Structure 1
């Protein structure tokens, strides 16, 4: 895994400007390493930048990172790029891979065993986008950093 911060070091970019970190995965790193990178990034967001990160956000970000990087490992040969970027009170989790084919998003089916990752991400994320790139595709999900006590998560 090669960490390549965009612009300056992630700690050097003051909020409200974007705070970001990118890491390239060559294929031999574990999914646990990607989750650890996300966990450390969010810890820096709290400890260095003083932004609140709820336990719910921590868990959702790790889940989204795990699901997206897992899908990249399963369906796209070659390297992948994970980018975490904080702005406007949320964190964007983007994963680029070399496969231009968009993932198949299956309808909810409680009887189906497995293949619920994108379904779960879409239910939990503020936004979910799939973009074709000149090479491959980029999937981005956005998660709020702090819980909104007045929000109706189920009604989104």
Structure 2
């Protein structure tokens, strides 16, 4: 995995909000590396930018990153690009891969083993989009980074 900062200082040109990206290789360790990148990114947003990043957001973002990168590694040949950035009060997770086939979330089936990734991501994200690109596709999820309610469980009101 190779990290690619937004600008030389790792911030975006849109108001100095943090962003980062990484090219992931075919190595199975790239999923764990992507999860670590997400934690490091949100920890930096908390400590260096004083954003109120909740533990819940760290956990959900790791899960979303893991699901999206796993799907890209499993179904698309070639490189995978992971981008993380702060957009408003959310962390945006975007994963690009070279396969133009757009995935669809399957209907819920508790008896089905596997293939629940997009169900999970769409349930946890405030916003979820899949878009065909000139080459391949981009799957984007936005997750609130601050606690929505003080009494919510570790995953917010959803759980």
Q: One fold, TM greater than 0.5?
A: yes
When the two chains are superposed, the root-mean-square deviation of aligned CA atoms in Å is: 2.0
Contact kept? 2:39, 2:62, Cα under 8 Å: yes
- Report what 1:77 is aligned to: 77
- Equivalent runs, 1:4-43 vs 2, <5 Å: 4-10=4-10, 12=11, 16-28=15-27, 30=29, 31-43=31-43
Gaps in structure 2 of 5+ consecutive residues: none
* Counterpart Cα distance in 1 of 2:108 and 2:92: 24
TM-score, length basis structure 2: 0.89
- Report what 1:127 is aligned to: 127
Contact kept? 1:129, 1:139, Cα under 8 Å: yes
- Report what 1:54 is aligned to: 54
Gaps in structure 1 of 5+ consecutive residues: none
- Report what 1:115 is aligned to: 115
Give the length in aligned residue pairs.
Answer: 153
* Counterpart Cα distance in 1 of 2:15 and 2:89: 9
* Counterpart Cα distance in 2 of 1:114 and 1:149: 31
Contact kept? 2:6, 2:12, Cα under 8 Å: no
Cα distance, 1:52 vs structure 2: 1.0
* Counterpart Cα distance in 1 of 2:35 and 2:52: 19
